[in-house]
Each structure stands twice: as C-alpha cells, then as structure tokens.
Structure 1
Amino acid sequence: MVLDVRDDGRGFDPLSPPGDTTGGGFGLTAMRQRIENLSGTLRIESEPGGGTGISARVPLRADQR
C-alpha cells in the first residue's frame, strides 16, 4: 500500500532535529516509527519555502491481497 501527499506550503528543513524551535515537532518521527514497525518506509522531501512531499509505503500481508 502506498500513500503520497504533497503540499505547496512553506516547507521545512528535514534535517532539523525533532522539537526544533523552527516549527518542527515529533509527528514525523512518530509516523516513521509506526510505519517501520509495519515493515514499511517513510520518505520525506522538503525545503524551506518549497513545500513538502511525504511518501509512506507499507507491504500488504498475503491474506490482504
């Protein structure tokens, strides 16, 4: 299963630490942990002033196909 989300908002520096005072938080860290617990991957592309793209991929179990 794949979910791709993009926006044209203000963006952010994806290398800034969680909880950074520039507007970061723990939401993306929690998303990554949850997706990785399902053997999936989370890809984040962003830059200040350039919007953000997030792609989450989680494999389906054999009984869900």
Structure 2
Amino acid sequence: DVVTLDVRDDGAGFIPGTHSGGFGMTSMRQRVTGLAGSLEIESEPGGGTAVSATVPAQEAR
C-alpha cells in the first residue's frame, strides 16, 4: 500500500531543524507532502544522517 525509500550515510551529520542555507531538505519535504506522504530525518553532528520517505503506492499512469 505504500512505497518507502530509506537513505543512510556516515557523513558529518547536522542538527535537524537548523537552517543550513540550502533548500534540499525543504524541497524533499514539500515533494513528499505533495504526494500525501511523510518524510523523517534523523541526524546528529558526527553521526551521519538517515532520511526515510514514505508515499502511498499508486498505479502507473
């Protein structure tokens, strides 16, 4: 019923909710929300980042 994409890295990480000067996370959240989905971001400085996007499954048009 849903499609989920999980992406993880072992990079520098960041503090979620802080403005980094870019639009990447904001853009991803807007796109997923526009598809009636959800986006979860987990990160911490020095601990990498995990992003999970879940959207309802739809038939190809």
Question: For the residues of structure 1 that align with 2:27 and 2:7, how far apart are their CA atoms?
Answer: 17
Q: What are the ranges of 5 or more consecutive residues in structure 1 without an aligned counterpart?
A: 20-24
Normalized per residue, the structure richer in strand is 2
Alignment coverage as a number of residue pairs: 58
2:38 is aligned to 41
| Structure 1 residue aligned with 2:6 | 4
1:60 to 23, 43, 57: 57
The percent identity for this pair of structures is 61
Q: CA deviation at 1:44?
A: 0.2
TM-score w.r.t. structure 1 length? 0.82
Which residue does 1:28 correspond to in 2? 25
The runs of 5 or more residues in structure 2 that have no matched partner are none
Q: After TM superposition, give the deviation of residue 18 of structure 1 in Å.
A: 4.6
Query: Cα RMSD over matched residues?
Result: 1.4
Please list the CA deviations of residues 18-55 of structure 1 after superposition, one character each: whole Å capped at 9, or x if unmatched.
Answer: 51xxxxx1101000001000000000000110000000
Runs of 4+ in 1 over 3 A off after TM superposition: none
Amino acid of the structure 1 residue aligned with 2:36: S
